[in-house]
Each structure stands twice: as structure tokens, then as C-alpha cells.
Amino acid sequence: MKAIIFDLDGTLFQTEKLAVPAAEAMFRDLRELGLYSGETPSAAKIQSVFGMTHEEIWQRLLPEADEETRKKADRILLEKELEMLAEGKGALYPGVDETLKKLKNAGWPLLIASNGLLPYVRGALESKGLISLFEGIYTAGEFETGSKTDLVNICKERHGITSGYMVGDRRSDVKAGKENHLTVIGCRYSGFPQFGEHDELADADYIIGDFKELLSIILDS
């Protein structure tokens, strides 16, 4: 079966509009609980962890915290994100809704593989009316995978995927696609914040500056 596997944050969803204020609120709560005494990381530093596994996130943002504090931070951050999603905060990138529907109508099975926690990923998709478009949602939090490569492999095996596309914005997405024998489409949207290094997508097969470009790559190929 051919299919398209999408990352969520930085690919479909403008993560910074939700995750930065949620993380800032989380650090305030940790200070009030006496679990953290440092400064709140800058927005740039918070953005730098988008797309990482939760273990990698806390190694960067709470390097000196014990495991219990990191688990507490996970719970608080998720609560803040879900509250904000319920309030209608957060946004898709331009063209995501209509492009996904066109791909679905053209017969392409669509799936999600994200390093985020399942309640957040489902919440983001539900809040924007996208969840019904996807045949499967795979998260590192649910499957306890240590890498995006392993997560995409689980997705492929469960759905009998033999070929198709991996669409994402981080090096881990490129690696996951390549190692699972998928064509990789890297997302670097013009006029929006970029997460990661300047060569993050160097090994992608395609790089798009607008989500709608997927149609010409996938439907016209």
C-alpha cells in the first residue's frame, strides 16, 4: 500500500503559537511549586526543541531536574496545551486543510507520526477539524519509541505500507523517511519561523516552501 505519513508540529500545525505560551506558563507553575528556580527559557530556546522526543526536550530545557520533576513538567505542559486548544488557540499553516482533503479525495491514505503526546496530537487535530482525515495516529508517547525512525516503522508495519511519502520539518523526519524507504518531503515554509539547524532538511528528496506544493509533487508524479 502507498500512503503519506505526516509529522504534526512545524509541518501541519504552527507549534510556536501554542507551545511557547504553554511552556512559559509551565515554568511559572514549576517555580510556584518550588520545583524550578531558574529563568524561563527564551522563546527561541523553547522553539529549538520542537519535534524532539520528550526525553530530549527535558534534557535541554530542564537539564538539572530529576525524573519526577520532568514528569510533573510533562503533565503541566500537556494541561496548558489542551486548555489553549480548547480555547481555539493555535493555527494550521496556510493551505493545510484543503490540501489534505484533496490528497484524501485522490485516494491517498494519510497518517500521523509525531514525537508529541497522544492527547496533545489528537487535541490539535480535533481542534482544527482534521482528525477524520487520518487513518492512523502514531505518537512516541503512546508507543514509547526512542526515535521517529522506530515510530514510522511501526506505522508502516501496522498498515502494510510498502511505499509513499514522509512529510516533516526536522532532521528526524528526514532520517525516519529515508531509513523506512519513503520519499521525503521537507517543509520549510516561507515567512514562518524555522526550527532546527539551517541544514536540517539537506537530505530530503524535496523541500517545499508552501504546503500546497505537495499536490504537484504527489498527484502529478
Is the pLDDT reported for residue 221 higher than 70? no
Q: Which amino acid is at 118?
A: L
Is the pLDDT reported for residue 22 higher than 90? yes
Q: What is the pLDDT of residue 57?
A: 87
Radius of gyration of the chain (CA): 17
Q: How many helices (H) and strands (E) does the chain have?
A: 10, 6
Parallel, antiparallel, or unpaired for β 163-168 and 183-187? parallel
The string of pLDDT tens digits covering residues 109-118 is 999 999 988 9
C-alpha cell at 103: 490528497
The string of pLDDT tens digits covering residues 128-156 is 999 999 999 999 888 888 899 999 999 99
Closest by Cα among 200, 142, 148, 138 to 176: 148
Beta bridge partners of 3: 164
User: How crowded is residue 159: how many other Cβ atoms within 10 Å of its Cβ?
Assistant: 17
Mean pLDDT in the chain? 92
Backbone angles phi, psi at 185, to 5 degrees: -115, 115
pLDDT band at 199 (very low <50, low <70, confident <90, very high): confident
